[in-house]
């Protein structure tokens, strides 16, 4: 009985994952920034999106912008990241 419930739960969770295709993002309702990074080979990729409130350019140390600068200063893999935005929905 217990094994059957586990199987049902697993099948149900896989069905839910399959119903929401990978890469289909929920549209944001508020302004946001995108954090883009380049690899050591020069490839560009979108690392994440953050609320515009997380970027505090006038504050030192700031919010996500300070975290991005610290990542760039201490990254041993040669990647470099930068913020793009704010982007209004």
Close Cβ partners of 53 (under 8 Å, ≥ 6 residues apart): 30, 63
Domain ranges, residue 88: 29-89
The answer to the question of residue 20 being in a domain is no
The answer to the question of residue 74 being in a domain is yes
**pTM score:** 0.58
The answer to the question of residue 87 being in a domain is yes
User: How many domains does the chain contain in total?
Assistant: 1
Tens-digit pLDDT profile for residues 22-43: 555 566 578 998 989 999 899 9
The answer to the question of residue 16 being in a domain is no
The answer to the question of residue 11 being in a domain is no
The answer to the question of residue 3 being in a domain is no
Structure tokens at 40: 């050591």
Q: Does residue 36 contact residue 50 with C-beta atoms inside 8 Å?
A: no
Three-state secondary structure call for residue 26: coil
Residue 5 scores a pLDDT above 70: no
């Amino acid at each position: 009985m217990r094994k059957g419930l586990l199987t049902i739960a697993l099948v149900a969770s896989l069905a839910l994952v399959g119903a929401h295709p990978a890469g289909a993002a929920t549209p944001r309702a508020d302004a946001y920034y995108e954090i883009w990074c380049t690899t050591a080979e020069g490839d560009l990729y979108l690392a994440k999106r953050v609320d515009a409130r997380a970027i505090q350019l006038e504050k030192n140390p700031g919010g996500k912008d300070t975290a991005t600068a610290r990542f760039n200063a201490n990254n041993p893999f040669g990647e470099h990241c930068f913020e793009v935005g704010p982007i209004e929905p």
